[in-house]
Structure 1
Amino acid sequence: MTPVQTRTRPPVLRRSGTATITVTVEIPADDPRLARRLTAALGVLAQQGGRVAVASEGVPASLDVPAEIAAAPARRPALVIDVPGREVLVHGEAIGLTRLEFSLLAFLARYPGMVHTRAELLQYVWETPDTGLPGRTVDVHVRRLRAKLAEFDALVSTVRGVGYRFTKSRDVEYRAATGISPAEDRVLSI
């Protein structure tokens, strides 16, 4: 990821009890992901009653919320993992995952923040003992999954020497299967 330069002035307290904070962010033009993340953060600030001033090079700052932020009535998750429908939506568009890639993503997302070893993943996703597949099988599938997740690739993080973890995020909605009895549902037991 390209570096981002920021400069912040200390808050100026007004008599009304509100603080004015000015932040200047220089975003490289070749990094659209970062611009989208910043726009989303400004949208959250604006929805919580804050006033946002946005300026671009050579354009004076406006104290209004950008049109795309104001037009969005409610925040929808950018990544949806629909387990019953067996599909993954990125910004409302389905991405094509293989059966194992989907199972791997669904398993990791089901337990966000928890680290899973390669042996656990082989047991619960591939349903085979650790000795049944070559050692790099999980790594190759994780690499392919990250490539298909595009801007959400960082959600599947590597814990060096241990395994993989799905990072908690407000941008992710995990839709679990409903009406499944605990006996039918595979429960992680460690």
Structure 2
Amino acid sequence: MSNTALLNRPAQATAAARHLSAVPAIPAVAEPAPAEQPGARHLPAGTAPRGFALYVGIDEAKVAASGVTLGVLVDALRRTLADLAPEAETYATVALAPVGSGGRDVDVVRLALHEPSAVARTKQDEPENEDRAPGGVVVDISRKRVLIDGESAAFTFKEFELLQYLVLREGRTIERAELVSSLWNGATEEESPGERTIDVHVRRLRAKLGRYEDIVRTVRGVGYRFDRHADVSIRYGHGTPSPDRF
């Protein structure tokens, strides 16, 4: 599945409205005792529901045949949710998968977004001896590691996140401010680095890439970019973490 621009044309919004409508209000009833709440006995001790994830499996061709876009569907779902629960917060992301991936769309989506139970069912199919690799750089997205000339490089978690962020946006220049806001999302002001601190992270990243350091390029005055190189290969495993949000 590829990224979809948000085109909220009136005709498309009307089409989406035909399929999505707010659920009728349910008459108030007496609140059940805590022990009788649906699903409560299945919750691990010390936990409470904070929201839910709805995986939607449909590719661009299928959604276009319905006269809408992925962006229109997301917008319609958000408006419906806003009508039902105005306090709810939402986050939407596109699930990317290699072209030609088989299986049901929704299963591909669950794997691409690393839904735990979906990933667990496929673990048995993973080859166990992939530690050796040919010369060059292998960015292993699924296992969160980097192999350089067949050897595992000692990347920190944040260094790998930085490289992965650039790799998944191949050819696009990423501003320092975007790197800070995305990679340190949710951090306090004290924990979040300044934009110039990104330069330090990039220097360390390049040092560990050694003779392949030029795959992370500096765009002077703007930020950084990952350029595909003949000596670089990407392993996506079960699915590609999506960089694209609605």
Structure 2: any 5+ residue segments left out of the alignment? 1-132
Letter paired with 1:107? Y
Aligned to 1:187: 243
Whose RCO is larger (CA < 8 A, sep 6+)?
2
Q: Determine helix, strand or coil for the equivalent of 1:136.
A: helix
* Alpha-carbon distance, 1:142 to partner: 0.1
Shift of 1:81: 0.4
Q: CA deviation at 1:154?
A: 0.8
**Number of residue-to-residue matches in the alignment:** 112
Q: How far apart are residue 125 of structure 1 and its match? A: 2.0
CA distance in 2, matches of 1:123, 1:104: 12
Question: Cα deviations across residues 131-165 of structure 1 (Å, max 9, x unaligned)?
Answer: 94223221100000000100011111100111000
Percent of residue pairs identical: 40
Q: Secondary structure at the match of 2:180?
A: helix
2-side partners of 1:116 and 1:100: how far apart? 16
Matched AA of 2:244: L
Equivalent of residue 209 in structure 2, options 149, 157, 161: 149
C-alpha RMSD of matched pairs (Å): 2.6
Q: 1:85, CA displacement in angstroms? A: 1.0
Query: Is 2:173 the partner of 1:115?
Result: yes
In the TM superposition, 1:71-90 aligns within 5 A as 76=134, 78-90=136-148
Aligned to 1:96: 154
Which structure 1 residue ranges, 5 or more long, are not aligned? 1-74
Indicate conservation of the 8 Å contact 2:147/2:153, yes or no: yes
Partner letter of residue 98 of structure 1?
T
What is the TM-score of this pair, normalised by structure 1? Answer: 0.52
Q: Report the TM-score when normalising by structure 2.
A: 0.41
Q: Where is the helix percentage greater, Structure 1 or Structure 2? A: 2
1:167 maps to 227
Contact 2:136–2:149 under 8 Å retained in 1: yes
User: How far off is 1:107 after superposition?
Assistant: 1.1
